[in-house]
Amino acid sequence: MPDDPTTNELDELRRLGGAASVEPVEWERPPPELWARIEKAVFADDETVAAPDETRTASDDAVPPPPTSLAAVRDRRRSGWWLASAAAAVFVVAAGAMVWLRSDPAVEVVATVDLEQLGDSGEGTAELIDDDGTLELRLATDGIENADGFAEVWLINSDLTQLVSLGPVRDDETYVLPSGLDPAAFPVVDVSHEPLDGNPEHSGDSVLRGQLTF
Amino acid sequence: MSSDFGERDAADAAVAARWVEGDDDALRLAYDQFGALVLTYCTRSLRDRATALDCVQETFLSAWRSRERFDPKRGAFGAWLLGIARFRVLDAHRKIARTPLPVDDTALETVADHQDSAEDHLADRLLIARAVESLKPRARSVVELAFYSDLTHAEIAAQLDLPLGTVKSDLRRGLETMRHELGGRPILDSGTSLSTAPANGGHGA
């Protein structure tokens, strides 16, 4: 009986069996020093993540003691407060725009992804929008460092060998895809740091990345 | 937790729960539970121990940086980690080849598609193997017999001298475990790739 659910389960299991190896897997055992390396890298990462606030306040004092209360944190960060507020406002506006987009019947959210941080700072969320037949990437980013250059948006194929530039990061956060481009063939959204050297190719210095799922 | 699930499933679920709670020990627990999976994936793919160790370090660092992105509703923790490891492996391949991202190189396309497909197959193979290992011995022998034979449920039951109902429930639970471990990803048949057809133009800046 072809429609018997248990027969379908057997078929699915056999597909799994086909993807599995007949030989048992010999698992590689992590060497003892590997955890120490990971712990050290994470610790160093936490330090650099904590550092920007200190540099932004430009305090001439010695390193202040760790804050013991929320009020203390607020005092220490006050001079940078408006920056954070402005960034938060941008995110609220962006989120509002996305909600508004969803309420427009001609606009369809095709795919969405939170971008992973590859550099030392920044975050972002991308949505692929079908606006009445025109495909657009809506990309909200925050906190990307752009010293000596600019940030550029790319769509890349899933093995990172072919890519299409959507141009420098723009304030309107909207990037129209080249007509005829199949987004499913370029599902990786990548934001790179580009030096001002006139070279149109990807610098290889990606700061945010995520893969759209369709 | 069902009695048909092994201890490793329970431990996996505990790690995922601690991770979601933002527990300070979650990274260490995740490493203890999934370090061998990630290292095996990186080593098999990169075929170089030192590069693979770097890759594992990068994977756990990336995972920790993006820790709030793990959503247990969207798949199992192991599949999520291998999703991150996949990018680190591809970055490492690119570094080894010393090739900057090519703008338009059709010759690379075939190699790249093959590589892409190989990475996906490897991830599936390891996740399936891990899921099968986590089954209790009886369920494991039922699932393995179904994997590599054309036997019907009744024939499997006869061969293993088990009641038909037991075989059916073992297979169903085994399948559910594997679906969960694979994070809902489609299983690749041999010769197919998750990646879609090459782009129809528009390469490069």
ipTM of the complex: 0.76
CA distance B155 to A87: 64
Q: Is A36 on the interface with B (CB under 8 A)?
A: no
Q: Is A4 on the interface with B (CB under 8 A)?
A: no
Tokens of A178: 């080249």
Record: contact B200-A182, CB cut-off 8 A: yes
Those residues whose C-beta lies under 8 Å from the C-beta of residue A16, and which sit 6 or more positions away, are B128, B147, B175, B178, B187
Cβ-based contacts of A135 with chain B (< 8 Å): none
pLDDT of B68 reads 85
Work out the percent of chain B whose per-residue pLDDT is above 70: 76
Q: What is the CATH number of the domain that holds B83?
A: 1.10.1740.10
Record: contact A10-B146, CB cut-off 8 A: yes
Task: Give residue-wise pLDDT tens across range A101-139.
Answer: 555 556 788 888 889 888 778 888 999 988 888 899 999
Those residues whose C-beta lies under 8 Å from the C-beta of residue B20, and which sit 6 or more positions away, are B70, B72
**Residue range B124-136: mean pLDDT, rounded:** 90
Sheet holding A163-168, edge to edge: A116-117, A206-211, A188-195, A149-156, A163-168
Banded model confidence at residue B158, pLDDT cuts 50, 70, 90: very high
pLDDT of B117 reads 65
Task: Give residue-wise pLDDT tens across range B23-43.
Answer: 888 999 999 999 999 999 999
Query: Across the interface, which of A16, A164, A186 has its CB nearest the CB of B178?
Result: A16
Q: Terminus-to-terminus CA distance in chain B, angstroms?
A: 53
Query: Across the interface, which of A16, A17, A185 has its CB nearest the CB of B196?
Result: A185
Burial class (CB in 10 A: 0-12, 13-18, 19+), A40: exposed
Length of chain B: 205
Domain holding B108, by residue range, is 7-136
Q: Do B23 and B32 touch, CB atoms closer than 8 A? A: no
Q: Do A168 and A153 touch, CB atoms closer than 8 A? A: yes
Record: contact A160-B100, CB cut-off 8 A: no
Give the total number of structural domains in chain B.
1
pTM for the model: 0.58
